[in-house]
Amino acid sequence: MIIAVTGTPGVGKTTVSRLLSEKLGYEYVGVKEFAREKGIGEMVGDELEIDVDELAEAMLREFHGRDVVIDGHLSHFVPADVVIVLRADPRLVAERLMERGYSREKLAENVEAELVDVILVEALEENENVLEIDTTGKTPGEVVEEISELLERGIKRRFGIVDWSGVYDEVLPYLRLGSGRM
């Protein structure tokens, strides 16, 4: 089974993906590392721009018929049996990205993406089986248990459980259009 774990930067993808792969006994694969290894994409400034079609083809060839957890904010473009979309309160995403030293522009772009469900919408457009998981206030272990329980119960489609519209005013300072400071 191929499980793709995706979401906005800062929602906990890597930690959850590694723990999930350990719990299930699946191989762990990071999208960025795989793309670098296979020569997919090109460096633009200090970021690797990945061609998602080339990535999807290469990962399908490499992992078809194997048990693998694919980690990365582009993993929902890879053919998978189930896509897990991790979500987190945009204020938490902002805090984590500030700690990582993201530029104001990249921070605003990612907070806005989380606020308006960009990754979830893309995942639903690309995949039949999508599970949305709110990681806010949960430990990585709790998130893995929630995912495991849903998979064990055979649930393959669950979304619409997150609505960040109630925190919009509090997130405005992080957005490019907002007023105020970070």
Least confident of 57-61, 124-128, 143-147, 173-177: 173-177
In this model, does residue 182 exceed pLDDT 60? no
Residue 25 in marked binding region: no
8-29 tens-digit pLDDT: 999 999 999 999 999 999 999 9
- Residue 178's pLDDT is 43
Who contacts 39 (Cβ-Cβ below 8 Å, separation ≥6)?
Answer: none
Q: What is the predicted pLDDT for the residue at 100?
A: 95
Specify whether domain 2-174 bears CATH 3.40.50.300: yes
pLDDT at 176 over 80: no
- Answer yes or no: is pLDDT of 5 > 50: yes
Residue 6 assigned as binding residue: no
SS3 content of the chain, % helix, strand, coil (to 5): 50, 15, 35
pLDDT in tens, 25-70: 999 999 999 999 999 988 787 777 899 999 999 999 999 999 999 9
Structure tokens at 65: 């018929």
Is 100 known to sit in a ligand binding site? yes
Residue 106 annotated as binding? no
Nearest to 97 by CA among 7, 4, 1: 7
In this predicted structure, what is the pLDDT of residue 152?
A: 96
Confirm whether residue 12 is marked as ligand binding.
Answer: yes
Q: Is the CB of residue 17 less than 8 Å from the CB of residue 69?
A: yes
* pLDDT tens digits for range 68-121: 999 999 999 999 999 999 999 999 999 999 999 999 999 999 999 999 999 999
Whether the per-residue pLDDT at 140 is higher than 90: the answer is yes
Mean residue pLDDT across the chain: 93
